Amino acid sequence: MSFVTDTTNDLDAAAVARDEDKDVDQAEHRDATAEADADLADANADDEDDEADEETDEDEEADEDEGDEEAEDDEEADGDSEAKAGSGSGRAATDLFRESEIAADYVEGLLDILDYDGDIDELVVSGRPVVEVVEGGDGSGKRLQALVGQRGATLEALQELSRLAVFRQTGSPSRLLLDVGGYRALRRKELGAIAKNAAEKVKEYGEAVRLEPMSAFERKCVHDVINALPGVESESEGVEPSRRIVVRPTA
């Protein structure tokens, strides 16, 4: 007796199994591809986020730079920004008066050397040490004007020397203000007129007006006047000694 084995069903089952395995492989391949695509998309998204963060950082840095420049102009508008570092707005009045005393002693010694007569006042005004040299009542006013110089250039130099004298004794930079013969008060009035005239031109023609180069003290005087007027604004441009003020319409 012979037995005939029907292998058809077995072959069909094997084929089905192979097809199922193939389908599983294809599904796994599709899953792997989808996962890779998702990872690539995430990576691209991360790169875009990084680029966006970098751009944001660059924008923030640019804003900070502009803010620093504006802050420098604001400091200049507060007067003589070069000597302000480390001065300390909360410094005690006794320390400020001490600075004016040191500067007064220095100026007095200088007057003795030059054989100039003048009375010296030691003050603290608006949280700032001040030394004023005034006429002594003997007609010394004209001689004192030599300490002012053209456009106050000599006065500015003497002020820096006085600040250095203070620094040598205190170890701290000083915002000392030195005046001779009431020059600064007179110059402040002149600059007020210049600032108002520039503001009128700006309002009339709608164009920016550039003033002549000025010292830090003079720029402060102009800023103070312009800031109090409607419709105009001011900022400084350039570098010393050619730094000047530009008055323009308010944006």
What is the domain-level CATH number for residue 212? 3.30.1370.50
In a domain, 5, yes or no: yes
**Is 49 found in the same domain as 18?**
yes
In a domain, 26, yes or no: yes
The residue among 55, 77, 99 that closes a domain is 77
**Is 116 found in the same domain as 68?**
no
Q: What is the CATH number of the domain that holds 101?
A: 3.30.300.20
Number of domains in the chain: 3
Write the DSSP assignment of 75-144 as a string of letters. Answer: HHHTS-GGG-TT--TT--HHHHHHHHHHHHHHHHHHHHHHT---EEEEEE-SSSEEEEEE--SSS-HHHH
Beta 177-180 vs 129-134: how paired, if at all?
parallel
In a domain, 84, yes or no: no
pLDDT tens digits for range 216-241: 889 999 999 999 999 999 999 999 88
The residue among 181, 196, 213 that closes a domain is 181
Instruction: State the residue range of the domain holding 237.
Output: 186-249
The residue among 15, 44, 77 that closes a domain is 77
pLDDT tens digits for range 158-176: 999 999 999 999 999 999 9
Q: Please say if the pLDDT value at position 36 is more than 70.
A: no
Prediction pTM value: 0.61
**Is 58 found in the same domain as 128?**
no
Q: Is 240 helix (H, G, I), strand (E, B) or coil?
A: coil
**Is 55 found in the same domain as 8?**
yes
pLDDT tens digits for range 86-113: 344 456 889 999 999 999 999 999 999 9
In a domain, 82, yes or no: no
**Is 221 found in the same domain as 151?**
no
Structure tokens at 69: 């420049």
